Amino acid sequence: MKQGLQLKLGQQLTMTPQLQQAIRLLQLSALDLQQEIQQSLESNPLLELDEVEPDEAEVEFAADEADLNAEQRSEIDGSDTLAELDGREDSVPDELPVDTDWDDLYQEHSTPTTSSDTGSEVDFTEFNSAGETLQDTLYWQLNLVPLSTTDQLIAETIIEAINVDGMLTQTLAELTESLNANFGKLDDNHAEQDQEPPTVAEDEVLAVLKLVQQFEPAGVAARDLAECLTLQLAQLPTDTPLLSAAQNLVAEHLAVLAARDFTSLKRLTKLSQEDLTRCVQLIQSLNPRPGSAVASEAANYVVPDVFVRKHEGRWLVELNGEATPKVRINQTYAGLIKRADNSSDNNYLKDNLQEAKWFLKSLQSRNETLLKVATRIVEHQRGFFDYGPEAMKPLVLNEIAELVEMHESTISRVTSRKYMHTPRGIFELKYFFSSHVGTTTGGEISSTAIRALIKKMTGEENTRKPLSDNKITALLKEQNIKVARRTVAKYRESLGIPPSNERKRLV
């Protein structure tokens, strides 16, 4: 086989570092972008925060509010985001009085004012600390009860077997077996003396379990739903109306109540319609997941990237300037760069200056793309902003991609984890994209609009005779919406709406 060299021309897409950085910034959420900017500020000395004095910021903001029209608010030139107002910074005077004490000066200029001084309330969301778990609460109550060493170990084993809902996840037999196995491993003294390690019986475990079930929250450590509700009913005052009837219903007819067969319940409990209604309301006031009252997860806050508001009959789209800090090039360090100097220090400044320019250009490109896409979404979904989800139109990524002359994958990155603040709430940009369903008249309707119609129908239905999926399908057909019953069931489940038999009420 003869070897040789051959020249060949071709085209291929090359991902330059600048392009990779722009794509990476484009798909970051607002919180992730803040972290990325902070890391760049710490690693690149040529970047700095663009801090504007409060007076200047107020003047610029007032001028922008007076002069910008709808077209200008839908465009971005890299300088239209609002400046951060970090507040007034106190400074130490140049000359101090003779009797000045440094402690007095520090307290005067550095100590922040409290809510009692300013009259404003404390923002407790600023305090980010680990919350108390359900196990922590139970252990604290356990320490208040005098117990023997064996009972203490049994109680600790029971507490560790309780899940976040407050339910016991192991049976008495499993708990007893686990305890006896642990006793055999921990008791070395008995092993050295060739004696049998101590054992516990199920009766002992049951006795300690009854003790733990008296802890707060009420209903904790229950083995099933019936026991959980029974424990909560037992802690109610004895003069509670229909308490005994509720206890009997939970103990004997909970399955019938779950099926919402109220006709059978009236026959089995011998209660009148009014008493049965009050009894069911008492049971519904209980908490089937008592652990959720303690082990609540920390709230996740969403920072909107785009604001949409109506002004003089037109919908305006604005970027959230406070979502991302304003960054600029440090002119002091940039002025130290010399053109003909090839020293290591000068090359270091040159490289960082180039990286800073790329970073700022990528940020500007991200803002421009985000504003373009958000503006097109608002134009297409104007019916949603005027009338609500029922007026949502079908929309796919390719339609927006053609309008802004970008690739579909770019639109997907822009709309992921980006949020829009509207008068109707905060929505992810992907919320406005949905498939279409055909109508009997040959038109199209968004699947989001169908979900909104289903939610409205079930919300206005007669609770004594709730709408079945077949009935909802028929009602949608009357509105010229052609959709199958299984599709209605899928949409209903996605909205968290239970079936008709579970939505049935006495009143």
Confidence label for 130 from pLDDT (cuts 50, 70 and 90): low
**Predicted local distance difference test score (pLDDT) of residue 25:** 85
Give per-residue pLDDT as tens, 238-270: 889 989 999 999 999 888 888 888 888 888 888
Single-letter code of the amino acid located at 257: L
Least confident of 40-44, 316-320, 499-503: 499-503
Confidence label for 378 from pLDDT (cuts 50, 70 and 90): very high
Average pLDDT estimate for 220-233: 92
Q: How many CB atoms lie under 10 A from the CB of residue 506?
A: 17
Confidence label for 302 from pLDDT (cuts 50, 70 and 90): confident
Beta-carbon contacts of residue 480 (< 8 Å; ≥ 6 apart) = 439, 440, 441, 443
The residues facing 436 across adjacent strands are 446
Confidence label for 131 from pLDDT (cuts 50, 70 and 90): low
Least confident of 142-146, 261-265, 499-503: 499-503
**Predicted local distance difference test score (pLDDT) of residue 297:** 56
Contact yes or no for 362/25 (Cβ under 8 A):
yes
Confidence label for 389 from pLDDT (cuts 50, 70 and 90): confident
**Predicted local distance difference test score (pLDDT) of residue 440:** 64
pLDDT at 118 over 50: no
Q: How far is CA 314 from the centre of its chain?
A: 31
**Predicted local distance difference test score (pLDDT) of residue 500:** 83
The residue among 474, 380, 468, 370 whose CA lies nearest residue 420 is 370
Confidence label for 343 from pLDDT (cuts 50, 70 and 90): confident
Helix axes 262-269, 243-252, angle to 10 degrees: 110
Extents of the domains making up the chain: 134-293, 306-432, 436-502
**Predicted local distance difference test score (pLDDT) of residue 306:** 92
Higher-scoring residue by pLDDT: 37, 130: 37
Give per-residue pLDDT as tens, 68-110: 443 444 433 333 333 332 333 344 344 444 444 434 434 443 3
DSSP 203-253: HHHHHHHHHHTTSSSTTTTBSSHHHHHHHHHHTS-TT-TTHHHHHHHHHHS
Buried b (16+ CB within 10 A) or exposed e, 400-436: bbebbebeeebbebbbebbbbbbeeeebebebbbbeb
Confidence label for 125 from pLDDT (cuts 50, 70 and 90): very low
Q: Look up the CATH superfamily of 436-502.
A: Homeodomain-like (1.10.10.60)
DSSP assignment, residue 72?
H
Buried b (16+ CB within 10 A) or exposed e, 212-248: bbebebbbbbbeebebbbbbbbeeeeeeeebbebbbe
Instruction: Supply the pTM of this predicted model.
Output: 0.60
Least confident of 244-258, 291-305, 480-494: 291-305
Give residue for tokens 């053609």.
Answer: 402
Q: Which three-class secondary structure string do you get for 318-340?
A: EECCCCCCCEEECHHHHCCCCCC
Mean residue pLDDT of the chain comes to 78
Single-letter code of the amino acid located at 375: T
**Predicted local distance difference test score (pLDDT) of residue 1:** 65
Higher-scoring residue by pLDDT: 12, 376: 376
pLDDT at 411 over 80: yes
Q: How far is CA 311 from the centre of its chain?
A: 30
**Predicted local distance difference test score (pLDDT) of residue 161:** 92
Cα–Cα distance measured from residue 46 to residue 36, given in angstroms and rounded to the nearest whole number: 15
**Predicted local distance difference test score (pLDDT) of residue 376:** 93
Highest average pLDDT, of 66-70, 184-188, 261-265, 358-362, comes from: 358-362
Contact yes or no for 205/187 (Cβ under 8 A):
no
Highest average pLDDT, of 60-64, 90-94, 196-200, 321-325, comes from: 321-325
Confidence label for 344 from pLDDT (cuts 50, 70 and 90): confident
Average pLDDT estimate for 275-290: 90
Average pLDDT estimate for 484-497: 87
Least confident of 71-85, 175-189, 325-339: 71-85
Give per-residue pLDDT as tens, 9-42: 877 666 677 778 888 888 888 888 888 889 989 9
Confidence label for 491 from pLDDT (cuts 50, 70 and 90): confident
Strands 419-422 and 306-311 come out as: parallel
Cα–Cα distance measured from residue 221 to residue 169, given in angstroms and rounded to the nearest whole number: 9
The residues facing 167 across adjacent strands are 222
DSSP assignment, residue 440?
T
Strands 327-329 and 419-422 come out as: unpaired
Torsion of CA 247, 250, 251, 253, to 10 degrees: 130
